[in-house]
Amino acid sequence: MRRTSVGLGIVALLLAACTEAPISVGPGDSLSDVISSVPAGSVVHLEAGTHVGPFVIDRPIELVGEAGAIVSGPPDTPAVVIKSDEVTVRDLVVSGGYSGIHVVDSEGVVLDRVEVRGAQWHGILVDDSSVVVTDCHIWGLEAGLSQGFEIRNADGRPGSLVQGCRIEGPLYEGLVAHVSHVSFIDNVVTGSRERGLSVTEMSDGRMEGNTVTNSQGTAYFCGDMSHCSVVDNMADGIAGSRRGNKSGGGHGVVVHTMSVAFVDGLTWNDLAGDPLVVMLESEIVGESLYP
């Protein structure tokens, strides 16, 4: 009987934990205090209104923005910093910040249906981390060399994915990978001044089903000893960049500096340069680098 009683007690505790209601945070509440006090696995809902950042997510939680919820950050620091594995942020609008969202030293991070607007340098910046970003919208970045999404120094992490995002300029580069493993799938970049999608600095990258339009320089760039598959992408309205370098002459795809790429299914319209440029000891291979 005692064994049965203990078993039922454990089941009751588990059921209580699973059915615990989400925690709601109003615009006047301290989001930092809430996050620092909730247990791992909690769901935190941001109510409609402006929530003043910055704040740090340092434990595995799910943060969900209700309709009309905005996180506002100052220009000298990221508005939202994620420093924990297994964090999910969903349906959140982030306004301002040095970067809108900065992910640091983390794995299993999911950013779903987030909008970042008016940040300084990055919409989303990922350092030594792996992320899945889906259906994001990044626009209105303010710095001259701004980047919509950048992942860097993450080659020791599982591969990351950015899929179904809209990146709207003017901005310097749309989606960028440095020393990382990444897939850019079904994204749209408009108004980039130098590169729409860039896989560079010894990265492994898959660029598939994307559109780069009304931009300058290069639509799709694979450079600096990187390995890339560039498949079924669109380049539309690519002018030469103001820098005037050969690789930025309004091209569809540039494979640059000892890089290896598989290129197939590129559709282009209104290019100032060439559909494909291969330079500086780079190589085109006959089959995809990704299964």
Q: What is the pLDDT of residue 45?
A: 97
Unique residue bearing structure tokens 């890339």? 228
Residues 6+ away with beta carbon under 8 Å from 259? 222, 223, 224, 225, 226, 227, 228, 282, 283
* pLDDT beneath 70, residues of the chain: 1-20, 291
Per the DSSP assignment, residues forming a β-bridge with 116 are 94, 138
d(Cα 136, Cα 83) in Å, to the nearest integer? Answer: 20
Q: What is the pLDDT of residue 243?
A: 81
Domains of the chain: 68-284 (2.160.20.10)
Per the DSSP assignment, residues forming a β-bridge with 278 are 255
d(Cα 154, Cα 177) in Å, to the nearest integer? Answer: 9
Neighbouring C-beta atoms of residue 28, cutoff 10 Å:
10
* 3-state secondary structure (DSSP) of residue 206: strand
Q: What is the pLDDT of residue 20?
A: 65
Q: What is the pLDDT of residues 232-275, one digit of tens each?
A: 999 999 999 988 789 999 999 999 999 999 999 999 999 999 99
Are 212 and 220 in contact, with CB atoms under 8 Å apart?
A: yes
Dihedral, CA atoms, 151, 152, 155, 159, nearest 10 degrees?
0
